[in-house]
Each structure stands twice: as structure tokens, then as C-alpha cells.
Structure 1
């Protein structure tokens, strides 16, 4: 069943599926990292987070101000957004590839239309329609899914940033934070 769909969808469907796999891989990687950081923050286990790095930078500066704390946290959070471009690009490219599959499927349909007076070419017509539909569906499913997953990761990062800011703004700043 699945191989039939892939064979009807053609090479463009295969590319869409590969892009989906890459996007999902990077989502899982970021999700695992962010979940571990959130867990460590909640447990107060600073050795397991990058909080120690922030503390070391701020400990070197006596009397660090809130804006400096925020700047350092922002730089750390920026690191957490790595691999976003892969997920975002996959979500953007997938529907475009689906559209490309639709166009190539339609070309096959139009190439078969002049031969449809003979019913033996009806299969070619059906293959073109199938390619058009399967690639469009796959492209949209991948784009929608990866967009939702990317937003989940963004929310996790925002939550981490807020928690770090709260922790450091409440901490004594003159001797280092931890």
C-alpha cells in the first residue's frame, strides 16, 4: 500500500518524505535538549545546564546589571535556536515541492489526454492524477506538521528564557550568581 503511494507520487514524493525525516530529526534533537534544560532548571541542577556558563561570565563582572544579565541570557538562548533553519526550511519547501509534484502530474495528464481516445492510456491519466494529488497532500502534511513542531520548540525556548531571567534577576549580583 505505502510503496504503491510512493511509486505513484514519484521522485518528488520521495524528496518530500526525506525532507520530512530531516525536519523531524532536528525537532527531536532540539526537543530532547530543551526538555533536559527545562528539567535541570526546575531541579536547580545548574551543572546540567548552561547556567554555570552565565554565572562564570557574570562573576567576572562585579555588580552586573540586569541588562547585562538579559544580554547574556539572550546569547545563550540564541544557541538554543540552532537547527531552526532546517525545520523552518523543510516546512517552507515541502508545500512548494507538493506544488511541483502537482505540476508534473498535470503535465503527465495533459500528455496522456491526446491518447485517451484509446482506453489503454487511461492508466497513464490516472497515474498523473495520482502523482498530482499525493505530492500535494504530502507537501501540505509535512509543512503543517513541521510548523506546529517548530512552534512547540519556540515556546519551550521562550519558557526557558523566562525562567532564566527570573532566576538571575532574583539572584545576588555582586559576588556572582550561584
Structure 2
């Protein structure tokens, strides 16, 4: 494309030397912008690109860590409850506790707290399960406030960079008493807008993943609540030994 523009310039007999020089300068500037890498482009955003870069690193860490943690917390609820129920109905409480320790999932830790209270009232067991559930929910939501903060702060940092960049641009205009080439002013403006674009991108990604991960947390909490309720119902149902004793009495 540059070759075509050069050929067009040479083919114009009425073009003055000044116009030719201006076009050549514009062509050179366009070539420099095309050859600018993404890293160089981001570096033009100024010092506020540093906190935006740090915020993006923290956001990536939180997203990856929470995603991994939530996926690892998943468990096949029905099969786990059937196994625990069978052990408890056989009167093997210690085996049930050992089985929960081997699973090391939020549901296993919650039910383990209830199994330890076996022999007490249902209210005590429910209280132990509720307290254990609150602890697990706290761990599931860990660092999610970081992601929410980044989603709100990153665009504001970007806007701040744009404002400071515009202030510097108008200060340059004042220092030059208005004798400024429009291309110089435009260059300062698009450099300032880099921070806004970067801040918006970081904020949008953080906000999107915040809602996505929050949905996964809510689904996990719902499963834990249902499984805990099923466990309490199972404890209130008569055991196989009690059924056999009742049949013998009859």
C-alpha cells in the first residue's frame, strides 16, 4: 500500500514540495504506528498502566484459584450420602468419620461435624452442621471481594489516566501558546485513552468472571444445603437394628 501511495505522489505534477513532504510525513507516521507492537502500545499509556497491569495479574490469579477450588469441591452427592447412611445404620460411626476424612470435600466436612454429635439431640446436630456449613461457605467465597473490587477500581484507574493525559496535553498547548500541530494533539489524546481502554477491559473481564464464579458458588451452596437436610432426615428415620428389634417385640 505504501508503494501505491508513493506512485500516486510521483504521478501528481501539480503537487507542491510542501504538500509532498506533508504526505510523506503522514505516510511515515502511519508506518510507525503499524509496526508498533501491543507491548509498546500499552507502554504509551503512562505510569497508571502499572497499577492496571497489577490489577489484571491479581484478577487472573483469583479467577484461576477460585475456579480450581470450586471444581474440586464438587462431589457425587447421592452416592456419598448412601455410603454414609449405610455405615451409620450399621452402627459403624468411626468408619463413617474415617470415610469423611478421606473425601476432604465441603460436604464431607459438614456431615463429619454432624456425625461427631451423634447421640445428642437433633437440634445439637443441626447446629453443628449449620456452623460447619457457614465455615465452608466462607471458604467458597474467599477472595471474591478482590474480584469485585478490581471490577470497580480498574475502569476508574483508566479514567484517571485519561484525565491526567488530557491535562498534560492542554498544558502543552498553553506552553506553546496554541501553536500546536493537530497531529501532536491527537497523538497525546489517543495515548491518554489507552488507559481507559485497558481499565475497561480489565474491569469487564473481572466483573464477568465475578458473576460466573458467584453463580457456581450459589449452586454449590444449594447442593450443600439440600444434602445436609437429607442427612438430618436420614438420622431421624429408624435404623435397621431398631426395625429388627421392633419386629422381634411384635
TM-score normalised by L of structure 2: 0.61
Decide whether the 8 Å contact of 2:114 with 2:126 is kept in 1.
no
Tell me: higher relative CO, structure 1 or 2? Use CA pairs within 8 A at least 6 residues apart.
1
2:156 to 96, 103, 117: 96
Cα distance change, pair 156–64 in 1 and its aligned pair in 2 (3 A): farther
Q: How does 1:9-158 map to 2 (within 5 A)?
A: 9-38=45-74, 40-41=75-76, 44=79, 47-61=103-117, 62-65=120-123, 68=127, 69-114=129-174, 115=176, 116-119=178-181, 122-123=183-184, 125-158=185-218
Give the secondary-structure state (helix, strand or coil) at the position aligned to 1:10: coil
Cα distance change, pair 156–129 in 1 and its aligned pair in 2 (3 A): same
Deviation at 1:63, TM superposition (A): 4.1
Aligned residues between the structures: 172
TM-score normalised by L of structure 1: 0.84
Give the secondary-structure state (helix, strand or coil) at the position aligned to 1:11: coil
Where do 5+ consecutive residues of structure 2 fail to align? Answer: 1-36, 81-99, 238-250
Give the secondary-structure state (helix, strand or coil) at the position aligned to 2:214: helix
Where do 5+ consecutive residues of structure 1 fail to align? Answer: none
Find runs of 4+ consecutive structure 1 residues off by over 4 angstroms.
Answer: 42-46
Cα distance change, pair 55–127 in 1 and its aligned pair in 2 (3 A): same
Give the secondary-structure state (helix, strand or coil) at the position aligned to 2:44: helix
Give the secondary-structure state (helix, strand or coil) at the position aligned to 1:28: helix
- The C-alpha deviation readout for 1:4-34, integer Å capped at 9, x for no partner, is 2112211212321221121111111000110
Aligned mates of 2:106, 2:180 — CA distance in 1: 69
Aligned mates of 1:49, 1:118 — CA distance in 2: 66
